[in-house]
Amino acid sequence: MKTRFFKKCISIVLAVALLCLVPNSDVLAADRAYPHDDNLVIVIDPGHGGNETGTQGGRIQERFMNLITAQALVERLNLYEGVTVYMTRFDNDTTMSLTDRAKFAETVDADFVFSVHYNACYAHDRFGIEVYTSRVAPYNAYGYQFGNLLMQRYESEFGIFPRGVKTRKGLRTEGDYYTIISANVYREIPAVIIEHCFADGPIDAVFTQTGDQLRNYGYADADAIAEFFGLKSSILGLDYTGYSTNLIEVDVNGFNDATYEDRTSPDSVNVSVVNLDPSSNTVTVRVEATEADGMMMFYALSTDGGWTWEESQVWPGADTYTGTFDSSFELTLSFNSGDRPDIVVKAFNRYDAYTKSNQITFIDRFNSTDKPLYREA
């Protein structure tokens, strides 16, 4: 680990010295958080494998999905210059412990580990791409900068919703929960987990239908990694060695607040009637929320008092790059004559903690003539 430490120190010194000599040059991107020399070593880790199947909610088991994407990633990343790429498992489906994966990365003197995954949740109603990084500086900043870069690419190229770059605290320590991250950080190797989308949900199902889709994500990962490190490929005709406007500013020496793990529920959610039109059997409601510790991400609507819920929707104005969201928005709901709805909203933050709103209960049924009476509770 001492060798790795001195290697990084030398890289940082050389990078800073070059910037001082050529302050206006675009040859070296001043905002790249991670310093490296000309002998970049990357380890790609296809998550799970062997007895560890991963999520089984998709068309095929996650262990195979991860391997397809990882193989494509390595194939394309090898077309870039100045980088050596390894995999923890390549053309086999073996069981390998997370610690052994980190030990392998250490034996090849890896500069960075990227762990390839697909997501799932117990309710099967989530969607989007998210990246997990370390809580420890400077690794927190490295993962945060890369993750935002990757999500921009997925949003623009594939239309996959960006859920944000996140951290998760260990159960008994202030360190990292995920072993693939903590075991590498222990060895002074930055590592991130890429959860490409939710394989078990109806919204993201369209993104995991074919092998070509899974391979395309590997190619996108490779290009994002190349842009993050400032690589070029004469074969592909791509050159990321210059300044990149897609890289956000990060605090290398501290904890980046946007990655804060917010497991507490949103502070408040309120629903109120704005307009009621009996001629069309419609009601417009305003949904308002406050969330001091983070941001709102999704909402789900129920018109039967919470017995059933409609498909989750992105909270209007939700922007994971800036951590902002609209404090309120309006919904116009249509009903049939004879309906007597009970309207309630369930609002989620970035970590899927949720708060239910008050309930609007209609005492009268819609009849296309008189305004039905309701109460807000």
- The pTM for the full model equals 0.90
Q: What are the tens digits of pLDDT across the range 158-193?
A: 999 999 999 999 987 778 999 999 999 999 999 999
Q: What are the tens digits of pLDDT across the range 270-299?
A: 999 999 999 999 999 999 999 998 899 999
CB atoms within 10 A of CB 91: 7
* Alpha carbon distance 188, 106 (integer Å): 9
Query: Would you call 225 helix, strand, or coil by DSSP?
Result: helix
Domains, in order of start, for the chain: 2-259 (3.40.630.40), 268-376 (2.60.40.650)
pLDDT at 18 over 90: no
Q: What are the tens digits of pLDDT across the range 352-361?
A: 999 999 999 9
pLDDT at 4: 53
* Alpha carbon distance 301, 308 (integer Å): 9
Residue 7's pLDDT band (cuts 50, 70, 90): very low
Strands 282-290 and 328-334: antiparallel
Percentage with pLDDT > 90 across the chain? 77
* Alpha carbon distance 33, 35 (integer Å): 7
Q: Which two tokens stand for residue 281?
A: 């059997």
